Structure 1
């Protein structure tokens, strides 16, 4: 990772999601906090500072997250249709005794002590050159930059220290998925010739096999219980959401990434695309960008990591300049 790209973004706390928090689990505070229990604990309840060991948290937008283990962050990263509206990247961090911190596109809620702890640790990681931040801002003269002139990117608060070993579940697939999703995964790896530049990325993945396991991504667009096995698959998602990736991380290191692609829409996985279908390879490229640790760029950008995809957006298969600079900064 290039320290200059990250350090310049220390002030952009609202732009990227948080790093996971390492806590002293099992050490009781001087005044024990109350506990929250149940399958749909609200953010308002979390704001009281309660400790949560199990159950689920429901966000105001309806997304439901299984409570992660103490010391773990789970992040949900969707891609929307251009007419559906982006629900926003969301993270839930369980700090243990300080409670749970929730972030939705940089807006913080949950236990105040947890939020303070997450932000303090995240600031320390950024200052040390190990954290997250925004990349260079889009340049231009009022008109939208092209994919080869737009240098913008956003780094999320996690990265992989090994290759992503993953399985695919073809049940309910709306297109031939394995080849298309694998192409999306490898678009970020190795020697990348982008916009006249040559970049070498150490982001890597290994497809293992098909599986009957289902990805731990819920129909609400939230995240379920991880099993340390990264799986892609198909299922229902809220209207306007094409796909969602859930990533679990500990102390800034990603340990699992699951993806769900929506069965609500028509998809294409052929070399060319026509009609009111969504290009699976292009959307998969976007979701694997999230899996590797990249966040959204501006909706007006022509980059892979813009937050929404139009039907037959095959241009999203190929990295733009900002996309390549982002993966280079991360790996």
Structure 2
């Protein structure tokens, strides 16, 4: 069966080798959650986990087993708070997005999160694809923005004064001619052994997608082996700086990249009512809220690491 493709709700996964799990997580403009996990056991038995899909319910992101209450530690009560990250002013191009954010708890008050069966136990070594990049970025610019996206997760960058207590690590390993193993139809294809970030065509409605391959771990979350990220530049325009004059046409590279990096290190989506968190499932144009983590995003990482 290896090599066959299983599809579900607009996404797909090519069946991998035995003793491997593959997950696809898609960030969509309409807020619906698309993605699932396919597991192949050591004896070749194939099973599926659809629990990460279809979070259209108003309570999505709250009623999953892994969504818990926030827990502060002594480190958060010291005077050693993270310095606020300098960001462009919040754009004013989408009234619906602003109303959604206003009706949700603030980023520093919302402690909801969900986690995936995924953890980087060592160092996430990632590569930069050699093709085109979102927002017409050069190689140097793409490296800067992708590396910053990953770093905002590994360093728990937030504006809530929550200290970094997460030992997750990453390392840029160079440019590769390999591509992210994600097809134009939204399918995780056979992995090539390199965790690659790039841009190209994806399934309609997908702003970006992450495919992750893991190995089973009997005493904890599955061990991450490879995770690829692709931005959908065939259907969407991206920008590096959505200022207050943003006209609702663009998606922010750093906003999107930070969300996708959250998936790599084990964070799942949170749904309606949590729109000020990085892992909120809906991608709004011109938004920058996902650039810095909210309370729930930080607590989710701490629960994993």
TM over 0.5: yes
Structure 1 residue 306: Cα displacement: 0.5
Report the TM-score when normalising by structure 1. 0.70
- Per-residue displacement from partner, 1:125-172 (whole Å, max 9, x unpaired)? xxxxxxx833328xxxxx521111000111111101111111111412
Q: Out of 140, 143, 151, which is 1:178 matched to?
A: 143
Q: 1:289 to 1:152 in 2, by over 3 A?
A: same
1:258 has 2:228 as partner:
yes
Q: Out of 261, 286, 289, which is 2:259 matched to?
A: 286
Structure 1 residue 210: Cα displacement: 1.8
Say if 1:65 and 1:222, in contact at 8 Å, map to a contact too: yes
Report the TM-score when normalising by structure 2. 0.76
Say if 1:217 and 1:224, in contact at 8 Å, map to a contact too: yes
Which residue does the alignment assign to 2:21? 73
Equivalents in 2 of 1:95, 1:236: separation in Å?
31
Q: 1:60 to 1:287 in 2, by over 3 A?
A: closer
Q: 1:316 to 1:190 in 2, by over 3 A?
A: closer
- Per-residue displacement from partner, 1:252-306 (whole Å, max 9, x unpaired)? 1001000111011000013747221000101000000000000001233110000
Of structures 1 and 2, the larger Rg is shown by 1
Unmatched runs of 5 consecutive residues or more in structure 1: 1-51, 108-131, 138-142
Equivalents in 2 of 1:281, 1:315: separation in Å?
10
Say if 2:242 and 2:287, in contact at 8 Å, map to a contact too: no
Equivalents in 2 of 1:94, 1:258: separation in Å?
19
Equivalents in 2 of 1:169, 1:99: separation in Å?
33
Equivalents in 1 of 2:19, 2:264: separation in Å?
19
Q: Tell me, what secondary structure is at the counterpart of 1:136? A: coil
Which residue does the alignment assign to 2:173? 208
Q: 1:297 to 1:61 in 2, by over 3 A?
A: closer
Structure 1 residue 180: Cα displacement: 1.5
Equivalents in 2 of 1:61, 1:154: separation in Å?
20
Say if 1:170 and 1:234, in contact at 8 Å, map to a contact too: no
Equivalents in 2 of 1:106, 1:230: separation in Å?
22
Q: Tell me, what secondary structure is at the counterpart of 1:186? A: helix
Say if 1:193 and 1:199, in contact at 8 Å, map to a contact too: no
Which residue does the alignment assign to 1:134? 67
Q: Tell me, what secondary structure is at the counterpart of 2:34? A: coil
1:324 has 2:298 as partner:
yes
Equivalents in 2 of 1:61, 1:310: separation in Å?
21
RMSD: 2.2
Which residue does the alignment assign to 1:150? 110
Unmatched runs of 5 consecutive residues or more in structure 2: 54-64, 71-102, 217-221
Structure 1 residue 181: Cα displacement: 1.4
Structure 1 residue 106: Cα displacement: 4.9
Trace 1:1-331 onto structure 2 (pairs within 5 A).
Answer: 52=1, 54-81=2-29, 84-97=30-43, 99-106=45-52, 133-136=66-69, 144-175=104-135, 176=137, 177-190=142-155, 192=157, 194-251=159-216, 252-263=222-233, 264-270=235-241, 272=243, 274-275=246-247, 276-301=249-274, 302-331=276-305
Equivalents in 2 of 1:283, 1:265: separation in Å?
12
- Per-residue displacement from partner, 1:24-67 (whole Å, max 9, x unpaired)? xxxxxxxxxxxxxxxxxxxxxxxxxxxx3x12223243433211
Q: How many pairs were matched up?
A: 249
Identify the structure with bigger relative contact order (alpha carbons < 8 Å, sequence gap 6+): 2
Structure 1 residue 313: Cα displacement: 0.9
Equivalents in 1 of 2:69, 2:134: separation in Å?
37
